[in-house]
Amino acid sequence: MNSLLLQTWNAIKAVQKPVLAGAIVFGLLYTGVVSYALYAVEQEQSDAAKTLGVSPERIEALLELSESGDTDAAEQMMVELQAASQSFTGMTEEERAVVFQEHSYRLLLELVPIFITAILLLAFVLVLSYVYYITIAVGGSMDMASLVRATVSKVLPCIGLIFWVLIRSHTWILLLSFLPYGYVFTAIGSLCALLFLPFYIVAPVILIKEGCTIREAAQRSYNRSKGHWGKIVGAYVFLCVVAYLLQTLGLILVQSTGAFKIPIVTFVRQLIVAYATFFIVGLNGVLIKKWN
C-alpha cells in the first residue's frame, strides 16, 4: 500500500503542471455551479417570502442595523413583521396551515429543477475532471491541445461506461428507493454496490488506456479484479480516509479566507480527485501484474 501511495505521488509530481491547471479550471467550474445554485435558491426563497408580504432584503437590512445597536431599526422591523402578519388575521389555525402548505409546495416545485440542474452539472464536471486526470496519468506528457481533445473524446464513452457498470453491478436498484417500501430497495442496492462495484473500479482506466469498447472495459476490469475484492475495498477505504483527512485539513486552513473559501476548497478537492485518480491508475497496473 505504501509503495502504491508513493508511486502515485511521484506520478503526479512528474506531470504537476497539467494537474494543477486542471484543478484550477475544474475548481472554478465547480464553484460556478455551486454559486449559481445558491443564488437561484436564494432568489426563489426571496420571491416566496414576498408573496407572504415580507421583503427579505428590507428585513435583513433592518436586522443588521438593529444588531449594530440601532433601536429604531429594531422597532421598525417588528412593525413591518406585524404588518405582514395582519394578512393572516381572522384565519383559523387550519386555514393558516393550508396557506403555508401551499406556499411551501409551490416553493418546492420551483427549487426541484434548480437542484436537479445543479446535481447534473456537478456530476458532469466530476466525470470531466476524472477523464482529464486519467488521460494525463496514462498518456504521460502531451501538449494542452492534445490533452483537451483526448479528454473530450472520452467523456461520452465514460458516461456510457458508468451506466453500464450500474446495470451490471445491479446498483441501479437504488433508483427504486423512492417507491413504497423504498428502504428495501435501498438495502438491496447498497449491498449490490458493496459486493460488485469494486470489481469495476479500474474500468474507466482500461477504457481510456486500452481503447476498448464499454463492454470490454467492464469485463476486463471484472476479470482482473476477481479474487482481489478484499484488497481493492481495503485500498479504496484507505484512500477515502486519506482524502477525508486532507479535505478536513484544507477546510481548517481556509476558515479565515472569507469570499475565497469556496474556490479554495474546490481547488483542494480537485487535487484530492487527481490523487485518487492516479491511485486507481496505479491500482490497475498492480492488478494487471497479478492477473498475468
Residue-by-residue pLDDT tens, the chain, 292 positions: 567 778 888 888 888 899 999 999 999 999 899 888 888 877 776 666 666 555 556 556 655 656 566 666 566 656 655 555 555 555 666 766 676 677 677 778 888 888 999 999 999 999 999 999 999 998 766 788 888 899 999 999 999 999 999 999 888 888 888 778 788 888 988 898 889 999 999 999 999 998 899 999 999 999 988 888 888 888 888 888 888 887 787 777 766 655 567 778 888 889 888 988 998 888 888 887 766 5
CA distance 179 to 225: 33
pLDDT reported for residue 53: 58
pLDDT reported for residue 257: 59
pLDDT reported for residue 265: 81
Find, among 47, 49, 72, 50, the residue nearest to 62 by Cα.
Answer: 72
Chain position carrying cell 389555525: 93
- Is the CB of residue 27 less than 8 Å from the CB of residue 129? no
Residue ranges of domains in the chain: 2-291
> Could you give the dihedral angle defined by the CA atoms of residues 14, 7, 281 and 253, in that order, rounded to the nearest 10 degrees?
-80
Q: Rg (Cα) of the chain, in Å, rounded?
A: 25
